[in-house]
Chain A
Amino acid sequence: MYAVETQNLVKRYGKTYALKGLDFTVNPEEIMVLLGPNGSGKTTLLMTLATVLKPTSGVAKVMGFDVVKYPTKVRQILGISFQEARGFWRHKPAEILQFHAAMCGVKKSERNGLIEQVLREMELWDARNKLFMQLSGGQAKRLEVAKVLVQNPKFAIFDEPSSQVDLRGKRTIWGKILGLKEKGVTLIVATNEVREAEYLADRVTILDQGQSIVCDTVQNLKDKITGGDIVELELEHVENDAAFQEELAKIPGTVKLAPLEDNKYKAYVSMAEAWVPKMTSLCYERKIRVSSVRVTEPSLDDVFLSFTGKKLETNENA
């Protein structure tokens, strides 16, 4: 059974479709990263799974519970860190976590210790008695993540968990998300940050205009790009035999071969890990000595570009 499953899920706001018949699955205990630009339907999908929004049509299930028929059951197993940490302006982080933990059924005897631990881990201990409105953007975002950590749910949703957070904070948050996975939690992380996706994902679903374009592991997605890997090859000596270049170009997976200098080549290949051994065998047979091989993998940004024809809008370059 899938931990999360949607079938032909549609969400419409007036005449605008945020989700257009989305079919989507998440396996138990995996981190599924939703990658897509703003407006691709990521947040709408997450809000629907969290029962905050009702779908217009189609089916969405969380741990087997239909989000429309059993919304309270879904909410009982769900923890969500919202994209925008807003709301309780006059409350303090410690009391927000106290309230949240109590509402989510954390035992009273465990609450104080757990909250202190999470506040310290998220570097919010010193800010625990500040008003929410006095927190920095990064602190507010870390508090949003902390709510899920005190709750320790079976299924967790993180909507752009590290946006507005500095690099050190990002590492902390990512570490906590991976820690939840180790505890057996199923997670969905929505992001438009390539680095975050690569760091966290077991699988990535690329969303664009409310539809799932492709879903696979990061490595498989990269391998799916025809000619996505770049191999830069340098030989010890100049090789004048034209037949060598022809044979190099005939190696399966070669999309394009470009001689750079007399002893340097640049090959655009589909799977470098399969191409490089064949290239070295060829060189060995021809007694050609290779001085260096440099392989460059495509980034998820390249993957996104390849599948959607668009550049991914990231926080780094926005």
Chain B
Amino acid sequence: MLDVLRLVWFDLKHEIYPPVWIGLQWFSFTIQIFIYGALISQLVNIPQIPNYQEFYAVGFVVMMTFDVGSHAGREFVEAAHEGRLPYLLSLPVSRSKLFLSIALKGGLELALMLMVPFAIILALIGNLTVLSVIAAAAALFCLGFGVAGLMLGLSFIAFKSSDLYVAVTTGLSALLIRFSTVLYPLVFLARASPGYDFVAKFSPLTYGADLVHLALGFDPSMLLNPTIAVAALTALAVSTLGLAVFLLGRLVEGVKSG
């Protein structure tokens, strides 16, 4: 287990020292929520949402989770292209420990990145139980792992062309975020733009966002059925991570490294 921790720390410490990237993410989140979020909440009027700034803040955290998950997946592909992966693959640790360390590093990175924004939304919303906070955090982690797995699962494209991989993942990210209920609830989408709500049901972010909103006490009538959301999110995380491990096992060791 010491090997796993060493691998995690070796990779993670440069994200923290100096913590520029994380600090900038926290800063931009604060600006986004307290300036833009406060302004837009004056314009948006949805009966089920008394204070849109809170809904917006939670949605923004879900988007950050998506970004961090995507980043973890893309970073692994970068590691393969920059020659870091062959080195890691040659170290005297089992593949399962190596993949565990990559997953742990992704999880820790996610936790670090979300620590402050999550604390801000908890303070903003207030009156929450420990259980609801844990449920919301668990939903975010599940979404983060699912998205990282999705990006890893698409890594086979990068072995053909890294440009194509960047194009596909960027395009997919844009579509998954835009066509989701991250910033607007499903009932609002159905009313404002019929058809949009149907497409939004195909985005994993819809399930993640609705579950987190539900856990943090938003009106369940405007959100997806939580059982379906839990099932969809779990299926996403398990299937994409499973697919990623399978593909990596078959592909990474079969792809020319130099």
Contact = CB atoms under 8 A, between A and B. Distances in A.
B6 A75 contact: no
Nearest to A99: B10
B86 A47 contact: yes
A54 B253 contact: yes
A82 interface: yes
Interface in A99-143: 99, 102-105
A87 B84 contact: yes
Interface in A30-80: 43-44, 47, 50-54, 71-72, 75-76, 78, 80
Interface in B53-99: 79, 82-84, 86-87, 89-95
A50 B88 CA distance: 11
A90 interface: yes
Contact of A83 (B82, B94, B258): B258
Contacts of B94: 72
A178 B50 CA distance: 76
B10 A52 contact: no
Contacts of B254: 13, 53-54
Contacts of B79: 87
Contacts of A18: 256
Contacts of B86: 47, 52, 82
B28 interface: no
Contacts of B14: 90-91
B91 A103 contact: yes
B82 A86 contact: yes
Contacts of A95: 10
Contacts of A43: 257-258
A236 interface: no
A47 B84 contact: no
Contact of B258 (A54, A84, A91): A84
Contact of A78 (B6, B83, B90, B95): B90
A284 B160 CA distance: 70
Nearest to B87: A87
Contacts of B82: 86-87, 89
The 8 closest A-B pairs by CB, nearest first: A86-B83, A87-B84, A75-B92, A54-B253, A76-B92, A90-B14, A52-B89, A99-B10
Given A52-B257, A87-B79, 6 more contacts: A13-B254, A13-B256, A47-B86, A54-B254, A84-B83, A99-B10
17 contacts: A13-B254, A47-B258, A52-B253, A52-B257, A53-B253, A53-B256, A72-B92, A72-B94, A75-B92, A82-B87, A86-B82, A86-B84, A87-B87, A89-B82, A99-B10, A103-B92, A103-B93
